[in-house]
């Protein structure tokens, strides 16, 4: 494409020697939303993404867009070094072809800054990467892109144990890998053994790969769990005075697909919910004679078909500094099995991260200063097991309340706001407040478990917490105060959202 510069030359004569760069700058300053303007830099003319291939003293200027010539993938170790002790390049687990397949900006294409930034964020959201940076080598006609990637330490083996009021002493072992075969396939398993029970949770996920559009991703999960029920808490126990235990086992199979920035999943799920006493014998009613299940046997089967769609615009997966994530889902129960349950469960979850600079000095930190906002809403249409009600209250809901102590409803809404700020490089602080309500839907749940146990139906909590980045991941400690004056301090891992 050739653009004559006669008009520019005339302007030079009229102005009497004013330099071309000043003309270009004056033009661009008068129209904020105008078309790209002519600029002169380092002896070459620029027009938008176009750069001249001839000097500015020619009679005409030939413009050409810079082309991405080459993309290089380099890996670094924990010391940010590109070479090992033998002087050889660090070898990463992730296949380089897989990484390039995720990029929108590829060799041979016209360079665009917005696509580069989108690709950088896309890579930073992968759980297998700890840090991703990109560097440019460019001349007047071409750009080379160099990605430097620090991978997370996978696979990981986690050993632990403890004691709880249900099963007593227990031991736990977990295995996790986010980068099987160098393709970011994921395996996450946990096994817990106690004198009373064996519990497990395992999931394998092979993600959808944009470079293979005809291949769907897939996910397979199996689980077995046992806990003190959050719906039927200790305010009303069983006729023998024991607390209600809630057992679940089942699995799911799903297919995954991505459309631009939207990720979708369709899954077939099965869950058997059983209500039991301390000896793990099935029970049908509580002390007041209220039913614990739809089937009346103490056991309900849930066969469901679910669909979920999400859009992740965070700048990185762990401790994002800005961006948002939206998830919408629907789950239709199929009336087969114990309980013959037919219902539809609808949920929405939105998180927004807003960077602020109220006390920070702008220096990089593991705990960036920000406002984090979480809005959730959900409802269930039709019959459903009371144990599957929306239980509000607890460490991942309204802090300051125990789990399920606010409400057990058919519907719910939850709003949380956190102000996160750095204290030291690896330690951060949080001021938070949570509010949630079941919108008066507790009385529509079978047996009215929330109403009979005097759950308020709505409540809020506030408090402060610490976040510590350790070799085991982020450790969270929150001191919450409820609007009823209850104070709770709880420790877990990972951010609240």
Which of 18-22, 78-82, 119-123, 414-418 is the most confident on average? 414-418
Task: Give the residue with greater pLDDT, 63 vs 205.
Answer: 205
* Confidence check: pLDDT of 28 > 70: no
% residues pLDDT > 70 (the chain): 86
What pLDDT sits at residue 41?
52
Instruction: Please give the average per-residue pLDDT across 443-472, as a whole number.
Output: 94
Going by pLDDT thresholds of 50, 70 and 90, the confidence category of residue 318 is: confident
pLDDT digits (tens, 9 = 90+) for 283-294: 999 999 999 999
pLDDT at 198: 95
User: Looking at 40-44, 170-174, 313-317, which range is the least confident one?
Assistant: 40-44
Higher pLDDT, 328 or 197: 328
Q: 40 pLDDT band (50/70/90 cuts)?
A: low
The predicted structure's pLDDT at residue 7:
37
User: Which residues are 253's β-sheet partners?
Assistant: 220, 268
Using 50, 70 and 90 to split pLDDT, how confident is the model at 321? Answer: confident
**Token representation of residue 492:** 């877990």
pLDDT on residue 2: 39
Give the residue, 366 or 207, on which the prediction is more confident. Answer: 207
Q: Is the pLDDT of residue 98 over 80?
A: yes
pLDDT per residue as tens digits for the range 211-234:
888 999 999 999 999 999 999 988
pLDDT at position 32 = 42
Name, of 101-110, 293-302, 356-365, the range with top average pLDDT.
293-302
What percentage of the chain has pLDDT greater than the value 90?
71
Is pLDDT larger for residue 60 or for residue 411? Answer: 411
Average per-residue pLDDT for the chain:
87
The arithmetic mean of pLDDT across residues 340-350, rounded, is 97
pLDDT tens-digit series, residues 75-94: 999 888 999 888 899 999 99
Mean pLDDT, rounded, for 385-395: 96
497 vs 25 pLDDT, higher one: 497
Q: How far apart are CA 155 and CA 127, in angstroms?
A: 12
From the number of C-beta atoms within 10 Å of its C-beta (0-12, 13-18, 19+), residue 52 rates as buried
Note whether 351 and 497 are within 8 A (CB): yes
Mean local confidence (pLDDT), 62-80: 85
Over range 28-46, report the average pLDDT.
47
| pLDDT of res. 424 | 86
In the predicted model, what is the mean pLDDT of residues 238-242? 93
Q: Which domains does the chain have, with CATH numbers?
A: 2-65 (no CATH), 67-151 (3.10.20.310), 207-493 (2.40.160.50)
Non-local CB neighbours of 444 within 8 Å, separated by 6+ positions? 409, 410
Those residues whose C-beta lies under 8 Å from the C-beta of residue 259, and which sit 6 or more positions away, are none
**What local confidence, expressed as pLDDT, does residue 362 receive?**
62
Q: Which residue has the higher pLDDT, 28 or 441?
A: 441
Specify the pLDDT at position 43.
53
Residue 17: is its pLDDT beyond 50? Answer: no
Q: pLDDT band for position 409 (50/70/90)?
A: very high
CA pair distance 256, 209, nearest whole angstrom: 10
Query: Does position 35 have pLDDT exceeding 90, yes or no?
Result: no
- Specify the pLDDT at position 367: 82
Q: For the chain, what is the HEC assignment? A: CEEECHHHHHHHHHHCCCCHHHHHHHHHHHCCCCCCCEEEECCEEEECCEEECCCCCCCEEEEEECEEEEEEEEEECCCCCCECCCCCECCCCCCHHHHHHHCCCCCCCECCHHHHHHHHHHHHCCCCEEEEEEEEEECCCEEEEEEEEEECCCCEEEEEEEEECCCEEEEEEEEEEEEECCCCEEEEEEEEEECCCEEEEEEEEECCCCCCCCCCEEEEEEEEEEEECCCCCCCCCCCCCCCCEEEEEEEEEEEEEEECCEEEEEEEEEEEEEEECCCCCECCECCCCCECCCCCCCEEEEEEEEEEEEEECCCCCCCCCCEEEEEEEEEEEECCCCCCCCEEEEEEEEEEEEECCCCCCCCCCCCCCEEEEEEEEEEEEECCCHHHCEEECCCCCCCCCCCCCCEEECEEEEEEEEEEEECCCCEEEEEEEEEEECCCHHHHCCCCHHHHCCCCCEEEEEEEEEEEEECCEEEEEEEEEECCCCEEEEEEECCCC
Give 473 or 299, the one with higher predicted confidence: 299
| In the predicted structure, residue 301 carries a pLDDT above the cut 80 | yes
**pLDDT given at position 1:** 40
pLDDT of 463 reads 97
Q: For the residues 395-418, what does the mean pLDDT come to?
A: 96
Query: Per-residue pLDDT averaged across 183-210, rounded?
Result: 95
């Amino acid at each position: 494409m050739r653009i004559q510069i006669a008009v520019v030359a005339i302007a030079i004569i009229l102005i009497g020697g004013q330099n071309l760069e000043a003309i270009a700058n004056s033009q661009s300053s008068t129209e904020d939303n105008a078309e790209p303007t002519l600029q002169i830099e380092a002896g070459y003319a620029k027009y938008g993404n176009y750069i001249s291939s001839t000097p500015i003293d020619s009679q005409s200027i030939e413009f050409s867009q810079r082309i991405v010539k080459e993309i290089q993938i380099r890996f670094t170790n924990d010391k940010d070094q590109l070479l090992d002790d033998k002087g050889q390049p660090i070898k990463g687990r992730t296949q380089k072809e897989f990484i390039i397949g995720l990029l929108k900006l590829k060799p041979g294409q016209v360079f665009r800054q917005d696509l580069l930034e989108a690709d950088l964020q896309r890579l930073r959201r992968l759980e297998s990467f700890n840090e991703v940076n990109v560097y440019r080598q460019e001349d007047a006609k071409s750009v080379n892109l160099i990605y430097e990637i620090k991978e997370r330490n996978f696979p990981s083996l986690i050993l632990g144990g403890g004691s709880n009021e249900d099963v007593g002493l227990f031991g736990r072992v977990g295995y996790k890998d986010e980068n099987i075969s160098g393709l970011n396939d994921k395996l996450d398993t946990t096994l817990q053994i106690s004198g009373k029970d064996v519990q497990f949770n395992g999931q394998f996920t092979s993600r959808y790969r944009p470079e293979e559009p005809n291949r769907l991703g897939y996910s397979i999960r199996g689980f077995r769990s046992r806990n003190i029920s959050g719906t039927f808490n200790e305010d009303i126990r069983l006729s023998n005075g024991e607390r209600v235990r809630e057992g679940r086992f089942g699995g799911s199979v799903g297919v995954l697909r991505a459309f631009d920035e939207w990720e979708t999943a369709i899954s077939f799920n099965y869950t058997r919910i059983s209500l039991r006493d301390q000896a793990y014998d099935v029970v049908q009613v509580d002390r007041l004679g209220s039913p614990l299940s739809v089937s009346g046997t103490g056991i309900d089967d849930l066969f469901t078909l679910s669909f979920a769609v999400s859009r992740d615009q965070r700048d990185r997966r762990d401790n994002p500094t800005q961006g948002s994530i939206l998830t919408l889902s629907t789950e239709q129960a199929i009336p087969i099995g114990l309980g013959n349950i037919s219902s539809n469960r609808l949920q929405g979850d939105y998180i927004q991260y807003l960077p602020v600079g109220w006390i920070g000095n702008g220096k990089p930190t593991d705990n960036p200063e920000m406002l984090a906002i979480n809005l959730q809403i959900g409802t269930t249409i039709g019959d459903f097991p009371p144990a599957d009600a929306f239980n509000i209250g607890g460490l991942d809901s309204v802090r300051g309340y125990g789990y399920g102590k606010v409400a057990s409803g058919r519907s719910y809404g939850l709003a949380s706001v956190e102000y996160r700020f750095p204290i030291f490089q690896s330690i951060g602080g949080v001021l938070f407040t949570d509010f949630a309500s079941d919108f008066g839907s507790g009385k529509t749940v079978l047996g009215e478990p929330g109403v009979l146990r005097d759950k308020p139906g709505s409540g809020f909590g506030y408090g402060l917490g610490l976040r510590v980045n350790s070799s085991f991941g982020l450790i969270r400690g929150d001191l919450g105060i409820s609007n009823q004056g209850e104070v709770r301090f709880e420790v877990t891992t990972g951010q609240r959202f």
